[in-house]
Amino acid sequence: MPETTPLLVNNEFDNDSVPESLIEVTEDTATELGLTVSEYELIKKKLGRNPSYTELGIFSVMWSEHCSYKNSILQLKTLPRSGGRLLVEAGEENAGLVDIGDGYAIAFKIESHNHPSAVEPFQGAATGVGGILRDIFTMGARPIAALNSLRFGPLNNERTKYLLSGVVKGISHYGNCFGVPTVGGEVYFDSCYSENPLVNAMAVGIVKTDETASAVADGVGNPVYIVGSSTGRDGIHGASLLASREFDEKTEDMRPTVQVGDPFQEKLLLEATLEMIQAGVVAGMQDMGAAGISCSTAEMSAKSGTGMDINLDHVPLRESDMSAYEIMLSESQERMLVVVHKGMESQAEAIADKWDVPMDLIGQVSDSEKVRIQKNGTLLSNISADYLVLGGDAPVYTREVSKPNYLKKTSIPASELVEKYNTKEDLEQILHQLLSSPTIASKRWIYEQYDSQVRTNTVNIKGNAAILRLKELPGKGIAVSTDCNSRYVYLNPYEGGKSAVAEAARNVACSGAKPVAITNCLNFGNPYDPEVYYQFSEAIRGMGDMCKALDTPVTGGNVSFHNESKNFAIFPTPTIGMLGIIDDLDKTLSSSFKNIGDKIAILGGIGENLSGSEYIKLKTGEIIGEGQYLDIAKEKNLQDLILNLADKQIVHSAHDCSEGGIAVALCEKAISSTKNFGFDVSVKSNDAVSLFNESQSRIIVSYDTNNSKEIERLADSHGVEFEEIGTVTSGSIKMGNTIKSSIKDITTIYEGSIPNLMKSN
């Protein structure tokens, strides 16, 4: 490996010396790069001089919303960010780390790749998967699962079909080639996502607690390496321009800001970096995602209170004529910045060579507390690392809030919706229409493109949450889920934020796992819009209240603002990734019916809230209502009850009620049974409100008749409503005298909807 050329540390910038004299840096230059005039003035004040063009580029990406969280950090700090089983506080590392006992931990995180996926769906989604996987293994954890949360416009639109097809292919390509199972996710379709789809990628890994790595730059004099792929022009300004602006007529011109991924190279990078960590040669490591070398050098230095001297002449390039500005801002994929313990360079290089992974010495750790960048013998950037990072001197803003005007139109009282839209007529037809709605219908067309079984850890991917065995801990497992009904958040941001956390936890609990921690991906519109910031702050308040009640602290995640076009913003979408722990895999639950003659009951009450429901959308074409109110104590009691029932093994199945209400949940249980199981139930009045309302905190269970009294007793002891509504049958479904269909018919409707829409012109 070549030695780094010593930095010309005496060639400091001053007001009279501008090394990049051919490029004039002005306020206009700053605004073109996404900075505000006031931010440009702040940069000059901090530096005590005018910045060079390379420095201005570094500030533009590091102070972008995507990297600095300047408009969100004050709100994020109100969430519970420590305690429970967390081994690191939120934001301290690349991913959350949760203690699962016996010397092991789970690393997990979710992030967005929305804007790149709208511009180039295949590569945008693929590199979203690659980026989140690197966040996991840069901590020393081996990835064992991937999930996703997707949002698109109506599926009768050709562009939506193009985006959906490209995104799914991108996710499957990267995950399948890398060799990680994609085990879960969710997909919603609403017109607000037509121009701005959401692609949130989540990854989960396992690591021994004494073999973790940290994103630090410890040890003055330690060598700094770039490990992995060479650096190209792909992804330049992905963080500051593509991820931090709305879509307009220039969006299609931004394809060069979308990164290009190579999953095979990432697989080699995984093996090489994990072996380096286990060999003890790594002092610190961080992947190069958003903002590339700029971010990794600054964040690692700031965390350790050190600095870095970097020589760009030794960065391996795909194109020989790249400028310092381009090299520092490139977001080329499959790269790591690794600080190696001095004296262990040969050992580290031998491991990289074994896995055929490039490893180039580009600098060293210094005691300057500054990131100093040189190229061709010239010092081009000399910035205090603390100026650049979240939690340091990057700007932090308090934004104005205003209750959205649209709520005056949408906030129709629940009683009025019941009175106006309740009916017993044509309920079978309505049920069929709901089952064919792309938001509710089977996502088999999507998930069958993913390899869900690679590595053979997958126990179950159907139903409530994905269940994975942990081979390192025989008999033990985890459950993971992604959830958010953004319609609920749109109608009532506070209650919707509570519901997003509650449903994610409920799904995990319905699998028999104890919810222990969340990661989140907060997708919103323009934070400078007071109405959007009201949505954001209220949703976070709701999330925080629910997390505190369930003791599921936030391990970290991602904020994605500016998800809007010229015409409208997306629904506020705080996606929750939930982790649950299963101490005994023999006590897991699935959603499907198990035996003819089993009793069926609803835990938590029948409910009658139609706000934001799929039924109301079907009847009116609108998202209206006051929102889905959630009683925190009731939710906590319900989850405690289902975990108790699972532990005692006295229920055969469990499935939470969500989109489409009780009727759809019962049909999903029947369809997933694969043995032609049906049901005969009577739900209160067997009318539209009883069958299709989406009231919160409800679970449908099936069980042996002999356990009825014990389940009712336990429900009462937990303060949970218990109502036996019917029996598992064979061949057909029956709901009072209003709905009767064959299992074959509802399965055909449910399974065929998305494939048929994707084939239609």
Catalytic residues: 66, 113
CB 370 within 8 A of CB 382: yes
H helices of 330-465, in order, are: 345-354, 407-410, 414-421, 427-436, 444-447
Within 8 A by CB and 6+ apart from 599, the residues are 702, 703, 704, 705, 708, 724, 726, 727, 728
Helix, strand, coil fractions of the chain, as percent rounded to 5: 40, 25, 40
Cβ-based neighbour number of residue 17 at 10 Å: 11
Residues 6+ apart with CB under 8 A from 83: 551, 553
Q: Mind spelling out the 3-state secondary structure of 176-198?
A: HHHCCCEEEEEEEECHHHCCCCE
How many of the other CB atoms lie within 10 Å of CB of 448? 10
Question: Rounded to an integer, what distance in angstroms lies between the CA atom of residue 168 and that of residue 122?
Answer: 8
CB 60 within 8 A of CB 34: yes
CA torsion 498→501→503→506, rounded to 10°? -120
* CB 520 within 8 Å of CB 478: no
Q: Strands, DSSP E only, in 122-222?
A: 142-152, 182-189, 198-208
**Contact of 2 with 225, CB cutoff 8 Å:** no
**Separation of alpha carbons 478 and 469, rounded Å:** 7
The per-residue DSSP string of 520-577 comes to EEEE-S-TTSHHHHHHHHHHHHHHHHHHHHHT--EEEEEEE---B-SS-BPPPEEEEE
CA distance 429 to 738: 10
What value, to the nearest 5°, has the Cα angle with vertex 270 and ends 266 and 273? 125
The rounded distance, in Å, linking the Cα atoms of 311 and 288 is 17
Tokens 């369930």 sit at which residue? 550
The DSSP element (H or E) to which 254 belongs, if any, is none
Strand order across the 653-656 sheet: 653-656, 699-703, 599-603, 722-730, 677-681, 732-735, 739-742
Q: H or E segment at 382?
A: strand 378-384
If we measure between CA atoms, which residue out of 112, 119, 163, 123 comes closest to residue 251? 119
Reference 744, options 698, 664, 676; nearest CA is: 676
For residues 306 and 319, give the distance between their C-alpha atoms in angstroms, rounded to a whole number.
31
**End-to-end CA, the chain:** 56
Q: Which residue has the tokens 């780094």?
A: 4
Distance CA 689, CA 693 (A): 5
Tokens linked to 539: 């949703």
